[in-house]
Amino acid sequence: MRRSGKSYAHPHFVLVVLAAEGETTRVGVTAGHALGKAVQRNRAKRLLREAIRPILPKIKPGWKLLLIARNSILNANFTEIQDCMYLQLTKANLIVESNG
């Protein structure tokens, strides 16, 4: 997926998207060893999971998403990460705007 998907880079994370068959959207979260020890990697993954959770109902169905944490995520606050997440998903044209 990393090689065949379209990537959208941000200083806090990289979003990789790939069209998938079916109606469900799947999300994967990862953090490499360059991020730090297990405590830092797990914290980064928790931040990414929680940032995307309220946005999931607004994402178009039928996509595979991969979130790759970067070093700067450990110094960012949660609202900043969530705003960046929404921005990157909008750039990827995955947000369904509801009228009402």
pLDDT at 99: 53
Assess contact for 50 and 78: CB atoms under 8 A: yes
Ramachandran area for residue 41 (φ above 0: left; ψ -120 to 50: alpha; else beta)? alpha
Q: Is the pLDDT of residue 77 over 80?
A: yes
pLDDT in tens, 34-53: 999 999 999 999 999 999 99
6 pLDDT more than 80: yes
The model's pTM: 0.90
Residue 92 has pLDDT above 60, yes or no: yes
